[in-house]
Amino acid sequence: MEVLQTHIAGVLLIKPHVFGDNRGFFLETFQQERYRSAGIALPFVQDNRSRSRKGILRGLHFQRQHPQGKLVSVARGRVFDVAVDIRPESPTFGQWFGAVLDDEKHHQLWVPPGLAHGFCVLSDVADFVYKCTDFYYSEDEGSVRWDDPEIGIGWPFEEPILSEKDAKAPLLRDLFL
């Protein structure tokens, strides 16, 4: 696998080796020692999968007291995936990294604990899968506005389909008043 460090400390774009022929393909989506040597050493405690349709944007989410590292990929379809550095002490605080993840290249994004995460669906349908380093606690969840102008994410849609909660999320600066 090829591991690319992004401009945000700890955020990795992972390009697994895909072995394919006329019958289909095979790839390892996780192998503990290989990922540990790439810098992903936290234990995973929960796997999640969601299905969404084109134009849906989920995020930007994080957990306050139980921050989750997430190893994300797409099992079906195509998404624009985003990590935002919300660590106040970080030199890249407020910056974002985005990548297209799909079921053809099988790239993965490692979003370390302490970052906000979100994605929007580019294909008709997408199945989004991710491994988490901590359990999900609904009462601990926080969010940042998807269109916060100070972050300036280059989303591919101007008017995505949002949940009520995501539409009312605060700006990043309001989280640290």
% helix, strand, coil for the chain, step of 5: 10, 40, 50
Q: What is the DSSP letter of 55?
A: T
- Which single residue is written with the structure tokens 């095979």? 26
Q: CA triplet 133, 177, 173: central angle to 5 degrees?
A: 70
- Which single residue is written with the structure tokens 């998404």? 79
Three-state SS for 174?
helix
- Compute the residue count for the chain: 177
114 neighbors 87 (Cβ within 8 angstroms): yes
Just list the catalytic residues: 61, 130
Identify the CA nearest to 54 among candidates 6, 122, 100: 122
What is the spatial distance between Cα 4 and Cα 7, in angstroms, rounded to a whole number? 10
